[in-house]
């Protein structure tokens, strides 16, 4: 068993880490507080080719496997979780198009998506349907060479920049079970009836927009049906979300790492009773606990990424997402405690990390629902422990 990265992965991580330390860490807190969109950082992501991490090489992408994919999101989230969000939804959508799109769809979209000339997201969540995707109400009615799409999507990352925005819809609202009537449509920017109505205010996860999207009799060409066949949307989305759970696990590790780094640095410089507080056992115990669970979470995240590289891994990715997201929140809270009153101040990084960490247990399926996914995989014998 080898728990280390190979030489290529180490070099890749070094490039990412240098970029994050140089272009993200120095500005993240200030730009978040200003509500500033990170245009310059996005340009840096383009220069590194990161918009193409899940695009096949034949279309100009990097076509990374799950392990280097996880590396990207750990490092970006260590700097600013919102930046990881900009790239995250884009990457999942690109993978879905690359894996399930028709030859024409791949050729039309993927080369520009790989460079960041085009960007994308993924339209799943609705006002009355989040983790329960079969409960969506957005419908697509066939009308000659178009679908007439009606519905509302919520919490859509990259909505104002997405072109196209893949949207999960019901092409047969009466199908039983519901997933057999679900499809994905690639909705181009500027489509009549497609409107991004508002940015949703958020506790954290700043830097990227999360929007409400309304489809009011939007006319989407039939050739924009992902894969060219109706009824396959749920399977297409779930294949992307498996990578999405690796994404969230890795982001969680990045947040936890930054929380630990901030707590350790502060404990060494903060003086109390003429000694740095790192000399006190109560603080040492917190640092040791955070470091221990952080390293366990990192191993879990990359174990899950490796499992995805080997095949279907619902249980492994579910376990990793659950554990890593809870470690991220625990690390952020403990880091705030090490900072004392200053941890509650917006002048320090840890309060931002705390606000970002909370989302990790909710995004890509809530942890409670994922526990049932893991349990069903175990009961059915599709996964095992030990």
Gap between the Cα atoms of 318 and 307, Å rounded: 11
Gap between the Cα atoms of 260 and 188, Å rounded: 42
Token pair in block for residue 354: 């705390």
- The answer to whether residues 257 and 265 touch, using CB atoms and an 8 Å cutoff, is no
Cβ density class 208-230: b for 16+ within 10 Å, e for less: bbbbbbbbeebbbeeebbbbeeb
- The answer to whether residues 228 and 101 touch, using CB atoms and an 8 Å cutoff, is no
> What's the distance, CA 140 to chain centroid?
27
Q: Catalytic amino acids?
A: 364
Non-local CB neighbours of 119 within 8 Å, separated by 6+ positions? 51, 90, 113, 158, 161, 162, 163
Non-local CB neighbours of 210 within 8 Å, separated by 6+ positions? 155, 156, 157, 159, 199, 200, 202
Query: 120 φ, ψ to 5°?
Result: -150, 175
């Amino acid at each position: 068993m080898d728990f280390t990265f190979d030489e290529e992965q180490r070099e890749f991580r070094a490039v990412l880490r240098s970029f994050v330390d140089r272009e993200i860490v120095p500005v993240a807190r200030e730009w978040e507080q200003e509500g500033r969109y990170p245009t310059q950082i996005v340009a840096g992501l383009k220069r590194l080719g990161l918009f193409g991490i899940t695009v096949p090489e034949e279309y100009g992408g990097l076509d990374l496997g799950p392990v280097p994919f996880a590396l990207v999101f750990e490092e970006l989230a260590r700097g600013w979780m919102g930046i990881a969000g900009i790239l995250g939804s884009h990457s999942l959508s690109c993978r879905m198009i690359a894996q399930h799109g028709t030859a024409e769809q791949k050729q039309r979209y993927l080369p520009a998506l790989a460079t960041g000339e085009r960007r994308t997201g993924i339209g799943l969540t609705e006002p009355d349907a989040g983790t329960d995707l079969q409960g969506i109400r957005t419908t697509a009615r066939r009308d000659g060479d178009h679908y007439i799409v009606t519905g509302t999507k919520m919490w859509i990352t990259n909505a104002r920049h997405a072109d196209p925005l893949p949207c999960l819809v019901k092409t047969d609202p009466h199908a039983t079970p519901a997933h057999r009537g679900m499809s994905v449509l690639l909705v181009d920017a500027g489509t009549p009836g497609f409107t991004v109505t508002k940015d949703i205010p958020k506790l954290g996860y700043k830097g990227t927009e999360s929007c409400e999207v309304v489809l009011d009799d939007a006319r989407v060409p039939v050739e924009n049906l992902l894969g060219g066949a109706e009824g396959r949307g749920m399977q297409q989305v779930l294949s992307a979300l498996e990578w999405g759970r690796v994404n969230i696990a890795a982001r969680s590790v990045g947040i936890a790492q930054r929380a630990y780094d901030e707590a350790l640095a502060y404990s060494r410089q903060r003086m109390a009773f003429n000694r740095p507080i790192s000399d006190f056992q109560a603080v040492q115990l917190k640092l040791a606990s955070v470091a221990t669970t952080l390293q366990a979470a990192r191993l879990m995240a990359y174990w899950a990424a490796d499992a995805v590289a080997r095949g279907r891994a619902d249980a492994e990715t579910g376990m990793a997402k659950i554990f890593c997201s809870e470690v991220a929140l625990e690390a952020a809270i403990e880091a705030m405690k090490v900072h004392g009153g200053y941890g509650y101040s917006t002048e320090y990084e840890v309060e931002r990390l705390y606000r970002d960490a909370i989302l990790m247990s909710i995004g890509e399926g809530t942890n409670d629902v994922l526990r049932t996914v893991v349990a069903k995989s175990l009961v059915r014998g599709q996964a095992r422990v030990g």
